[in-house]
Structure 1
Amino acid sequence: MDRDKNIEFLNSSKKPWDIVVIGGGASGLGTALDSANRGYKTLLIEKYDFSKGTSSRSTKLVHGGVRYLQNGDISLVIEALRERGIMRKNAPHLVKDLSFVIPSYDWWSSPFYGLGLKIYDMMAGSLGLGPSTTLNKEETLKLIPNVNQKDLRGGIIYHDGQFDDSRMAISLAQSIEDQSGKVINYMPVTNIFKKNDIIEGVELKDSLSGLKYVIRSKVVINATGVFSDKISKMDQPNSKNKIRPSQGVHIVLEKKFLKGDHAIMIPQTSDGRVLFAVP
């Protein structure tokens, strides 16, 4: 990727773009790659650096959604498991297997989660990462020695994936350019312009040089995540906010805290949260 050459292309290109994607996170990069792969003249622009926001602040898991299975959202689990398998196949240098242990403190926990995870394995089919297994107390303590031992009965081990989210974002950006698309960071949208109430393009400002650019496009896609309302108001200033942000909490500790290579998954804490302890 060469930012200067891409900006030169903006100046020299006379024909309108087919698609301009605003936002260089996971959603924007994926959208732009799909567009470029289909042969559309595609430009992706990002206000800061690629995956600067939510996309580099994930739990870095490639999972099929065990908690969604508990909620009965079968179709979502099947789709997520399929995507997990494809991602691992397409980017083995970025995705690795990771085993999770669910400690059990009630008589019903092991059979309940054990059965659910066997269904989880079955849904993954040939794209599965390994079979889930019921553990006794000694086996559980061997894998996660710092777990609370009081009333511990055993546990269940299952397999999902872990990946480098920022490197994945850069790989997607490079793939967009491989498909003749263009990606430019530090290029925020300052305005949207329309003709006969139809969006025809965007105004950009280079954060590094201060220069402005007017870009014509047949389609403009807002993929700015929690900042989507700000972009939408450039089109419809009086529109109501549609995004209600939510957040998870990540606490970074020294690796020795976990005392092992296995992740811990608590399906439900006392306040109703899902808790992961991930190496």
Structure 2
Amino acid sequence: MNRKENIKQISYTDKVWDIAVIGGGSSGLGVALDAVSRGLSVALFEKSDFAKGTSSRSTKLVHGGVRYLAQGDVFLVLEALKERGRLLKNAPHLAHNQSFVIPIYTFFDRLKYTVGLKLYDWMAGKLSLGKSTFISKEKTIQRLPTIKQEGLKGGVVYHDGQFDDARLALNVAQTCDEKGAA
């Protein structure tokens, strides 16, 4: 990935490019990778560093769509779980398992989160990162020492993914370069 060489290649050639992608953030890099992988010639333009803007300021989460489960969007959850699985399989050096604790203060919260997250675990199937479990008040306090303790009944632990967004973007840019994008 040599910026000067790529600029020279784009500037001093009569080549007609199939596609020009403006912006080297996650969306632009995704478009460029898809196009170059399909055999199109790609010129990728980025005024600064790859993933310097919004793409490096994500939540860093690779979630399976657990929040969409509450909205009843089962198909979106299934698709998100598949994509999370693909990323964890294709870039294990950039993504890993991250556990979360949801504090429980009422019986209804315990029922809602336990049932909802067990459904999430079941939907994840072989792509699961770990089974959700109920933990005691004491274990919840150990994991979340600054939690409001009054009325706390325990917690529910569930698993999703976390990744290095900027490094993933750089890896995608390198792949684009290796496949011939300029």
TM-score by length of structure 1 reads 0.63
**1:4 Cα deviation after fit:** 0.7
Q: Within the alignment, does 1:6 sit opposite 2:6 as a pair?
A: yes
Larger Rg, first or second structure (1 or 2):
1
Q: Within the alignment, does 1:124 sit opposite 2:124 as a pair?
A: yes
Contact 2:132-2:159 within 8 A present in 1 as well: yes
Q: Letter of the 2:143 partner, please give it.
A: L
Q: Identify the structure with bigger relative contact order (alpha carbons < 8 Å, sequence gap 6+).
A: 2
Q: Letter of the 2:54 partner, please give it.
A: T
SS of 2:152's equivalent in the other structure is: coil
SS of 2:113's equivalent in the other structure is: helix
Q: Letter of the 2:70 partner, please give it.
A: Q
- Which residue of structure 2 lines up, in the alignment, with residue 161 of structure 1? 161
**1:136 Cα deviation after fit:** 2.0
Q: Letter of the 1:64 partner, please give it.
A: G
Distance in 1 between residues matched to 2:65 and 2:47, nearest whole Å: 31
Moved more, 104-113 or 133-142: 133-142
- Which residue of structure 2 lines up, in the alignment, with residue 66 of structure 1? 66
- Which residue of structure 2 lines up, in the alignment, with residue 20 of structure 1? 20
Corresponding pairs, count: 182
- Which residue of structure 1 lines up, in the alignment, with residue 113 of structure 2? 113
- Which residue of structure 1 lines up, in the alignment, with residue 179 of structure 2? 179
Q: Letter of the 1:172 partner, please give it.
A: V
**1:129 Cα deviation after fit:** 0.6
SS of 1:134's equivalent in the other structure is: strand
Distance in 2 between residues matched to 1:122 and 1:175, nearest whole Å: 34
**1:55 Cα deviation after fit:** 0.6
- Which residue of structure 2 lines up, in the alignment, with residue 56 of structure 1? 56
Distance in 2 between residues matched to 1:89 and 1:69, nearest whole Å: 23
SS of 2:78's equivalent in the other structure is: helix
Distance in 1 between residues matched to 2:148 and 2:67, nearest whole Å: 22
Distance in 2 between residues matched to 1:122 and 1:102, nearest whole Å: 19
SS of 2:50's equivalent in the other structure is: coil
SS of 1:173's equivalent in the other structure is: helix
Unaligned runs of 5+ in 1: 183-279
TM-score by length of structure 2 reads 0.96
SS of 1:124's equivalent in the other structure is: helix
Q: CA RMSD in A?
A: 1.1
Q: Within the alignment, does 1:143 sit opposite 2:143 as a pair?
A: yes
SS of 2:18's equivalent in the other structure is: strand
Larger strand proportion of the pair: 1
- Which residue of structure 2 lines up, in the alignment, with residue 269 of structure 1? none
Contact 2:51-2:169 within 8 A present in 1 as well: yes
Distance in 2 between residues matched to 1:43 and 1:128, nearest whole Å: 38
Distance in 1 between residues matched to 2:155 and 2:11, nearest whole Å: 61
**1:167 Cα deviation after fit:** 0.6
> Percent identity of the aligned residues?
55
- Which residue of structure 2 lines up, in the alignment, with residue 35 of structure 1? 35
Distance in 2 between residues matched to 1:13 and 1:123, nearest whole Å: 51
Q: Letter of the 2:158 partner, please give it.
A: Y
Distance in 2 between residues matched to 1:70 and 1:47, nearest whole Å: 40
CA offsets, 1:189-241, max 9 Å, x none? xxxxxxxxxxxxxxxxxxxxxxxxxxxxxxxxxxxxxxxxxxxxxxxxxxxxx
